[in-house]
Structure formats: structure tokens, C-alpha cells
Amino acid sequence: MYIRKVLKNGLTVVCEKIPYVKSVSIGIWAGAGSRLETPENNGISHFSEHMLFKGTKRRSAQDIAEETDFLGGNLNAFTSRECTCLYAKVIDSLLEKAVDILADMYINSRCLESDIETEKRVIFEEINMYEDSPEDIALDMLAATAWKGNSLGYMVLGTEDNVASFNGAQLKRFSENYYTAQNTVISVAGSFDEDKLFQMLEKYFSDLPQGTRKTKFEKTEFTGGRAEREKEIEQAHMAFGFEGAGSGEEDAFAEAVLCNILGGCVSSRLFRKIREERGLAYSVYSAPEAYSGAGMLYIYAGLSPENTNVVREIILNETRDLLKNGVSDYELLKGREQLKVSYVLGLENVSAIMNVMGKNTLLSEKVRTPEETIAGIDSVDNDKMNKVIQRIFGSEIAEITVTPKYQEEK
């Protein structure tokens, strides 16, 4: 059972004690991501996350690296569309040391111009690496097409021009506005003493300014559309997007079961018909993507260019069949059971529990209990499934193709 508490400066803490483990995972979740950016500063959330590791008033970047290695666990960070997370997983006896390092990085990060220029080059390399991943490109293009003109479709990495333009004053102003108590949630899962945990969090985060919450999002219109891109690659990459449930919405349970049936496992319709029966693709799957006031069910396939038309037709035929005939009783039962097993197994991972509690508390201020989640999955019947199928596949579609660019022979 998770516990929620607000510290003196307004910082929300959510935690769950798991007495049978010897590890503990802690995450600092900030309401800072590409959805909160503008075209002019797109990429600044991700850049600011990088700068957390470049040193503080007390520690150099090398000090942070050395002390992290001495912890023997894992300390890292990531930025997404709606949030930034700085996290660590350590053995329980080293929790306070991890809290000390994380709090120092989050509150006292410095922005020296020399470090900024170095990190720009690092992020340019990250963008280059991204350009070598056409699957990621296709899915980012899908978001930009599905939510055209909205910041939800921005790239998390930003653009090279924006990254090149960032300076210390901008980054300092950003952290002062977004790395605040009201806009932050601390999530902890694993082995810890509850009283000592809250004492150390009060101690190490007392200097975090109160600020205001930034993560109140309006409902975002799903526009749909089609986009294409050519790259010097071997495979073609296809992605289809349909409007799905937003985070915390009740339809999310039926949508998750539907994803399992359609392309979420090795016995799913698309995996069986495209890969196993006809050998037309190595990778094909469907998955839900949920945000505050917006969501998408997407389908992806990586395949030889000559197979694009036939695979596209198979995928769209399956959506049409679902609209007409729904799912069988057996598919519904299997989809529910698989989803429950996957969820229960995830409860044995302290990092996964920390992630769910932190993200949900930050963005929706609600964390479902395991009992509520299982009950929600079990509640998906044919009526709910048919309602979700009609809503998802009976509306707008976003479609992306990234295809090989062939050079003409001289």
C-alpha cells in the first residue's frame, strides 16, 4: 500500500515499502518535458536534464560520477513529453547517500558556459544516433501528425538549431521555473524505514523553492493525416495511429486488452498473420500511448519495401474486421489474463513501482492500487471492448512511412 505525504515546502512524496527486498528505488519527477515547450525552446527540458550531471556548488561532474560508482547501483535520468525523471536504485543501506547526491544535483546544478558548449556536442551526437533509428523517427513523425500543431507532437531532443542556441541564462531560468517543490514529486519504492525516509527528504530538499505546478494540460485534438520520409536505410518502416484513451481514463483498460489481441504478443492477430504465417516482417506490434487529455493506439511494422502495400492492407483489414465483428470470447479472456500476469510480474520490480507511482502522482494525482488495476482489467467485457473498438477504429487515422532512399547508379 502506498503512502503519500506533502513536505513543509509543498513537495509531494509518494512511497511504498516492500519489506522482502534489500534494494530501494527513488525518483525525482519534474513537470518538465517537450509538451511544455514552444517551437523556440523545444529541447530545453532534455538539455536541462543533461546539465544535472555537469556539477553543483558542492560536487564537480567527476565527483558525481565517482560517488555514483561507489554506490554500486544505478543513477540516471530521462526526459519524456510530459516529465523529467532523475532516479537511482541502490541497496537500502545507501539510500541516504543517494538522496544526498540526487538532491544536490536537482537543487544546486550549475550552468557553466564551458559545460554547456561541451554538452551541446553530446546532444548533437544523440540526435545523430536518433537519425540512425528509423523506428524512432517513424513514431515521432506519427506523434507530430496525430497532434498536428500541438506541442505534444514535438521531439523530446529538440532541433539542432535550438540546441545550438541555448545559453546559461536560459537554462538557469528554466530550472528555476520548473524544478520547484509544487512541480515535483518524489517517488520511493523498496526497503526503507518510513520515519527516517521523511526526515532525510525534509533535510535534503528543504532548499527547493516552492514554485507553481506546470502540468495542467488541456484536452488535445487528434488530427490524423499522412506523412512520408525517405532515408538511406534498408527497410521500410510503417506506423499507424488511432485516437486512444488519455492517462487515467477508464477506457485505458479495454484499450490495453485490445492492443494485446491486435499486436501485443506472439499469438496476436498481426504478429501471427504478418510474421508467422507469411514472413512479411520481423518486427510488428501495437501499443497504447497515454498522456494527460490525449492518447493513441499505434501499430508499427518494419519490413522490406516491396511488402509495404500488402502489409498495409493486412493491418487495415484487421481494423475493419474488428469494427465489423469485434473480438471472440477466447481472445478477450486471453487478452485479460495476459495483461494481468504482465502487471503482477511488474509489481516485483521496485523501479517499475517507483515509476508508476511517480509519474501518475505528478500528472494525474492518483495512483491505482493493484486491486483496482486488476478489477479494471477484469471489468473489460464485450460491451466495453466493442465501444472502444468503434471509438478507436471508427475515427481519424494517422499514417507514416519511412522508406529507403536509393541513389541512382552513375
Q: Which among 16, 49, 318, 399 is annotated as catalytic?
A: 49
- Cβ count within 10 A of residue 68: 20
89 CA to centre of own chain: 19
Cα(403)–Cα(406) distance, integer angstroms? 9
**Cell numbers standing for residue 383:** 460491451
On the 0-12 / 13-18 / 19+ scale of CB atoms within 10 A, 266 is exposed
Distance CA 14, CA 355 (A): 11
CA 249 – CA 360 distance, rounded (Å):
12
313, containing H or E segment? helix 308-325
Active site residue 49: yes
Instruction: Return the amino acid letter for 218.
Output: E
CA-nearest of 255, 289, 265 to 388 is 255
CA separation (Å) from 275 to 103, 257, 266, 305?
A: 48, 21, 9, 15
Residue 184 · residue 27 · CB < 8 Å: no
| Residue 373 near residue 257 (C-beta atoms within 8 A) | no
Active site residues: 49
